[in-house]
Each structure stands twice: as structure tokens, then as C-alpha cells.
Structure 1
């Protein structure tokens, strides 16, 4: 019996039941490190399945929203406990399904636990303010109303953290959810949904539908009863999501990637800058929206930085994420691997030079997976495609600069504006960077990748829809303000 035949088939989760799709067809989720390892089979759903899920969510929403905030929070605490109890299983599934090293997968899973508990506690925080009225016999205050049914469409690169930072606030603020995970993280998502079921979440409050984005995602975005859509993914798809939602008056929230720079000033701690550049750019195989992509280095320290960087990159151990010695895993699938390799060719054709890497890694056990060597380009100019377009792979582009003014001009020469970092000891440089860098997240002497769960997260320009996720900012998307005016009507004489 081969591995594919014994892999579990996962169903959709609609109205508290695990059900097959109307199409009654499945697709396979495959381990990108060992393509003969099928992680599981999942439903290829239809618009009809989405309609069932939306109907269930709409039917459950009123009762869920009328439940006390602390009571909804208790459900999230229970889910957090279940995810924590199954953290090893979820992390191993994540690594098998999308390739990131097991230590990173375990850390992300525990971050999901922390996100759930953070929003569970939000159930005890204020949701409005008393506002003075010109009428002394009246009381005026604000409260919050949930949107209703929310569509949550998530990517494969953070298959626990991103769903949790969307689903948890949606639920605590009284919404119900239709959840569509990316095709390369569907089994991991199913395990998360099982945790909600095990925690006793009422039927219809969370619904899970799998399938192709062009079918399932589009049906969610177009459905008249989906009041809000929270999407993370590519900018091309995100623009379509936003336009479709806008056309029918639905609220939308988009996070669409970046081309994130790190600036290394002449006075930087080069060892720290190298460590952060490699970690920020190449961990998770560069498959992060906040990953470092452009490395801007003061010409006075360029040679020293380059030498240290290449020494570090050459020491990276590429392999199966389940192996403890692996530092960098595979690309998530063959399409992503081919995209990365195509950008390597584009860079060479544009006149950039490969300082290291740039090819598919096939030696030994790597021949059975989608592995690309960590790659460093130099002789890169800002106008090149490899300096402008999101590659979403383990590729760094070195660009020298003469002074901070030039560095900031290069850093801002992008349609994206998600994250950026600078390495310097100069307070003036730090302040200029904070003031002039067009990015939603700016970090000083720290890698570009990463944000704490209690802090707002989102981008400028084409990186997002000018909204923020995570922290207390989440309430701004998942609710609407309602102003209340109460006049005593003479009841007190």
C-alpha cells in the first residue's frame, strides 16, 4: 500500500458537520520536500458549498453576537488549550505540508495559541466611550456592532498564525466566519478547525471550505451575505478581491506582500546586520511577506559586509524541515520553485551578477523536493525587476549607496511598503528612517521580518488596503461604530 492510498481525506466543515463537497472530488496536499509523501486529500469545493457555509454562518450569527463578550472569550481560551495540546501534531503537519523547518512551525503554532488567548482577553476590554452631549438630560455613547458573516482567505506561508489573527478577532467581536485556506496548507487548517470543534464552538460560527481560489475564494468574495472579507495573498489577487467587494458594498481588508529593504549604514554592527539579513531574508525559504529582499549597504562597508554575508549564506543547511539540522526548507511547490528560478534568470539577463546560489538543489535526498539554493545577487540597480517585483523565495539583492538620502530614495523606490529595517548607531539616521521610510512597519537594528501579535500590522502603498491587522487595531475592521443617544423622556421629572 503506497503513502497516497493511506492518507486521510479531509472534508469541509459546515454548520458543525464534516461534509463532502457537492462536487465530490478531492485534491492531494503533497510534501514539498518529498513529493511522494501525500499529507492528505481535501475537497475540491464549489460555489454551492460556499453558499451552504455562508447560510450556516448567517444562521448562527445573531445568537453568537448576542452572547456576552466574556462568554465568547471562553470559547477562544478553550480553542487555545486544544491547539496547545496538539501543537506537536500541528507543527509536524505544517512542516510536511508547506516545508518550513519544524522549529519554525512549532514556534508559529504556539504563536497561534498566544493570539487566541490575546483575543479571548479582548472580551473584557471596553468597546466604546461616553461622549458629552449638549443636552444635559441625555446620555450619548458609542458601542460596536459586528459586521455579520466574514470571509477569511489565508495564504500557505503562515498556515496557523495568519488564520488565527483573522478568525480570533472576527469571533470575539461577534462575527461568524467562512474560512478558506490556501491549497498548500489545507490539512494544517483542518487540524485547526478540529480544535474549534473540540472546544465546543456552536454550529455555524466557524465554517471551513477548501478548493481553488478562483472558485471558492471568488464565491466568498462575491456572495451578497458576506459582509466583510479579510484577505492575505498576492497583490494581483488582492486587487480583484478589493474591487469585487467594493462593487457590492462589502468591507474588505487586504495584505498583499512587500519588497522589503534593509539599510546597512557605515556605522552598523556588521555581524548583527548580517545575522538579521540572513534570518529576515532566507528563513522560511524567503516565503514571508515581510522577508528582506533588497539589501542596501553603504559603499564604505560594502566589501566587509559582503564577505560576512556570503560566509553566513554558504553555511546554510538546506533540507527536509523534519530533519533537526535543516535551516532552510523547500519552496512550497513546483510552481513557486520555477518562479524563483525564473527570477534568477531575469536577474542575469538584466545584468546582475550571482555572488552565490541561483540553482535548484538536487544533491542526495534533495532530488525529491522543490529545493533552491539560497541566492545572493550583486551589481543590482533599483530599476531591475529583481529589485522591484516580489519573488517570494530565498533571493537577496545587494545594492550599494553613498549616503542615507540615497539609501532612502532607493528603499522607497517600490510600489510596496510593508516593512523595512535599518542598522545604525546614529540617532539622526534612525529618526530620518522612521520619518521618511514609506512602510507600515519600520525596525531599527532588527530584521525586517516579524511583528508582535499585540501590535498593529499592515502596509502602505500596494502592500495593503490602508488598514491594520492584529492587536487592538483589529476591532476597527471587524466591527462598525454605533453612536447611541438616550434622552430621559421626562421619566425623572
Structure 2
């Protein structure tokens, strides 16, 4: 029988007021129930927000090193349970065990990183224009931070929002996705133990599960929430941005994209196919930074398509915990969305060079498996080349030169991650200067990020307000006070 997980509010574990729960299922085997989680109500969400508000002043007054100690002790416990966390992540979200292990380690590192940054993130001293004066800035916490997080990186994304919020003195209310909440609820167990050890106030961290309308809506609109950080779909993100700004809150959204990788005529074509393939098919294409458009110089186009198809054919598909190359989609709706996109592509005149369906065999009958898909005969204005497909799906376009490649790369509303594969770094620098994307990677897959540098998109991929991760991730959760001290 699956374990039942509770919400974490005001330093204690609680059932929802309604007594309702929902099942979290293994996408590799839908008969396998990973956990039962609370189907929370708006009353539960309001209670969590009130708990965060009650702890706000005490946590803001807690010295930075003491805040860092909570994060450090949490990271230690996560590290000790890293195998369990990775296995849980793989089982409930579908990632391969290698991918889940990497994401878990990233989350541990994020908590450690912000534990250290909490010690010296305070403000700056400036030189005044007159004598007998101290002139400096102080960074103060926003107050209560509302975090609404997705299922596709269910331990990393909550970590890179929560850790900087806590490090800078904010209390938090976090709504987890219903598709994959269990792994972070286990992180919250680590936070609970760490809070008891270091003496953190009850209510500093509050975490709930449940539906978007019942839980997400109060987290976005409640008067006691001062800042809202959301990662997810563009449609939901645009709605949250409008609601939060109407309520005069600080808001940050990171949304989807339609990421390109350009392959130049002097690139190593086999290497380029590996870069594009890993960026497109890794984590089953369920990353906002996944490659969905390969823009290839016409002189190497045919060779590249052949190599990319060969790469796709080599991808081993199976249950994530068996550590294949690619696991299943997280849910039936995500699987159907990818399959529908393939049919749309066919209707628009695209050619499916490889994949496009579900793999055959008894091993795949009980899960949400899909083949990696490679398309040719695509045009930039096709729906499937403009709208995000959250699956292992890439269309290959031709370009005659770097200028046309840049034009095609920018020919979407989005702007999160872009790649460029070349042996000519003069061309690479032209691409970096010309492309309108928040992350640009040369000779690397569009997926994969460092935790100590800013992350975020441009155009429809982001609210373009504040970046996440690194020191800039702390800036979002603070407001500056400028002090003139004359003596």
C-alpha cells in the first residue's frame, strides 16, 4: 500500500480540511501507486499563507548565517538520502535513474550554495559626494514568497526558488505539482528535521499539494503574499502574471520555449547530431530548454538528418528506474499532446523521418511511452515549428548561411535557450550577439545549466523581470533600502 503524505504547515504535518487525497502514479507502470497526497482546499492554502505571515518578522530578523544553517543542515540530510530521493523522482516522474540522480545532486548543491550566500548577501557601501557621511544600501526580504512549481524538475526547481527565498529572509508557501510532488515532500522532511535542530521558527516553510484553482489561486492573490514565482506553461503563466500584478505583487514567471540549435557547415556533423539529439530527447523532451528546432546549413543537411535519425534509432526506451536512455512521458495527457503534435505536423506536410508514435511491445503497454521523433520538410511558419511540444520532438530546417540561421532562430515568440554547433567561433560570436534568447550555448546541448549563474528567458518565455539562480536569484526576493548616515 502506498504511503500517504501530508501538507507541511506551521512546522507540522497536516491533512487537508476536506480529508481528500489523490494518487500519484508511476508513468512507467500506471498500476503502481507511488503515493497518496493531500487534495488541498483554498482553506488549507489560506492557512499556510497565514502561517508564513506569522513567521515573517522573526525570520527576517534572523541573522544571515543562521538562515544559512537551516539550508546547510537541509542539504546534509538530502545528501544522506540522495539515493532514495533519486529513486522516488524516477518512479513518479519517469526520468531515467541517471537523470534523476543528476537532478537530485543539483538540488543538494543549490541548498549548499545558498547556505553560503546567506552569510554575505546584505547590500553595498557607496562613496558619498560629501564628507562626514556613510552611504550604503541594505537588502531586505520581500516578506512572504508564493512559489508555484512544475512537475518536470520536481526537486531542482522548488529548490532553486525556495533556497534563495529563505536565504534572504523570506518565509515561503509552495504549491507542488500534482503529477510529481512526492520527491519534494521528502525534501520537506529534511527541512523539518533541520528546522528543529537549528531552531527555525514554525511557519518559515509551508508546502501543499492540490489543484491550481484551489491552492495556486490563493498563493497568487492572497493579500499576505508579497512576491510570486511561477514556472510552467505560458497560458497559466500569463494568467498568474496578470493576477499578481493586478494585486500589486512582485512577480516572476519562467515559461515555455521553442528552442533552436544551429549547425553550421564547418561543424562536426556526428557531434552536432549528438548535441541536438541529447538536447531534444533527454528527459523525454520534457524540459523548457529542450531543443525542438535544428537549423542546419544546407551543405550538411542530408548528412545531419541521417546522423540524427541514427541517434534517435539508438535511444533505448524503458522504465526510468531501469536506467535506459529515455523514460516515459509523465502522464497520459502529455503523451497525447506529443502524439497530436506529430499528426499536426503530418497534416501540415512534414515528413516523419523517425518515430512519431508509441513503441511496440508488451513492455510498453502499461506506461506513457513515446518514440523520439525527427521531422523534415518543415517550414518555420508551421504550427509545430512555432508552438512548444513538450516531448522528444525535433524538426530540421535548412539555412543557407549564419544570417539566415539567426533569422530562423528568432522567428518564434519565445526566447529561452539557443544552441550553436560550429568550429568557427567568429560565427559563434555573431550568433550570440544576434539571437534573442536568454541562454545561449555553443557546442553544447540546450539543456543543462550551472546553478551559480542567472537563468531565464526573453520575449514570451519569461516575464523578463528577474532572473533565477545565482546571486540574481536572491535579488528577486529582496528590496533595496538606501541609507544616508551623516555624522
Of 472-481 and 196-205, deviating more is 196-205
Q: Is the 8 A contact 1:362 1:371 kept in 2?
A: no
Partner of 2:240: 241
Counterpart of 2:68 (choices 64, 73, 85) is 73
User: What is the CA–CA distance in structure 2 between the aligned matches of 1:427 and 1:12, rounded to whole Å?
Assistant: 51
1:35 is aligned to 2:9: no
Partner of 1:173: 168
Shift of 1:442: 0.4
Partner of 2:211: 212
Structure 2 matches for 1:473-492, cutoff 5 A? 473-488=472-487
Partner of 1:307: 306
Structure 2 matches for 1:112-127, cutoff 5 A? 112-127=107-122
User: What is the CA–CA distance in structure 1 between the aligned matches of 2:453 and 2:125, rounded to whole Å?
Assistant: 26
Partner of 2:261: 262
User: What TM-score comes out, normalization by structure 1 length?
Assistant: 0.96
Shift of 1:411: 0.5
Question: SS of the residue aligned with 2:315?
Answer: coil
Partner of 1:3: none
Partner of 1:48: 43
Shift of 1:133: 2.6
Shift of 1:146: 0.2
Partner of 2:104: 109
User: What is the CA–CA distance in structure 2 between the aligned matches of 1:132 and 1:455, rounded to whole Å?
Assistant: 28
Structure 2 matches for 1:57-456, cutoff 5 A? 57-200=52-195, 201-324=200-323, 326-456=324-454
| CA deviation map 1:438-457 (0-9, x unaligned) | 00000111111121000100
User: What is the CA–CA distance in structure 2 between the aligned matches of 1:85 and 1:188, rounded to whole Å?
Assistant: 14
1:470 is aligned to 2:469: yes
Structure 1: runs of 5 or more not aligned: 1-5, 489-493
Question: SS of the residue aligned with 1:37?
Answer: strand
User: What is the CA–CA distance in structure 1 between the aligned matches of 2:360 and 2:287, rounded to whole Å?
Assistant: 24
Shift of 1:304: 1.1
Shift of 1:134: 3.5
Shift of 1:250: 0.4
User: What is the CA–CA distance in structure 1 between the aligned matches of 2:282 and 2:201, rounded to whole Å?
Assistant: 38
User: What is the CA–CA distance in structure 1 between the aligned matches of 2:76 and 2:201, rounded to whole Å?
Assistant: 17
User: What is the CA–CA distance in structure 1 between the aligned matches of 2:443 and 2:14, rounded to whole Å?
Assistant: 49
Shift of 1:320: 0.3
Structure 2: runs of 5 or more not aligned: none
Shift of 1:124: 2.4
State the superposition RMSD in angstroms: 1.0
Q: Is the 8 A contact 2:58 2:201 kept in 1?
A: no
Shift of 1:362: 4.0
Of 164-173 and 211-220, deviating more is 211-220
Of 450-459 and 135-144, deviating more is 135-144
Q: Is the 8 A contact 2:64 2:120 kept in 1?
A: no
User: What TM-score comes out, normalization by structure 2 length?
Assistant: 0.98
Q: Is the 8 A contact 1:42 1:210 kept in 2?
A: yes
Aligned positions, number: 482
Of 179-188 and 256-265, deviating more is 179-188
User: What is the CA–CA distance in structure 2 between the aligned matches of 1:455 and 1:121, rounded to whole Å?
Assistant: 15
User: What is the CA–CA distance in structure 1 between the aligned matches of 2:287 and 2:450, rounded to whole Å?
Assistant: 15
User: What is the CA–CA distance in structure 1 between the aligned matches of 2:362 and 2:347, rounded to whole Å?
Assistant: 30
User: What is the CA–CA distance in structure 2 between the aligned matches of 1:422 and 1:91, rounded to whole Å?
Assistant: 31
| CA deviation map 1:208-250 (0-9, x unaligned) | 1110112211111011110001110001000011100100110
Question: SS of the residue aligned with 1:70?
Answer: helix
Question: SS of the residue aligned with 1:262?
Answer: strand
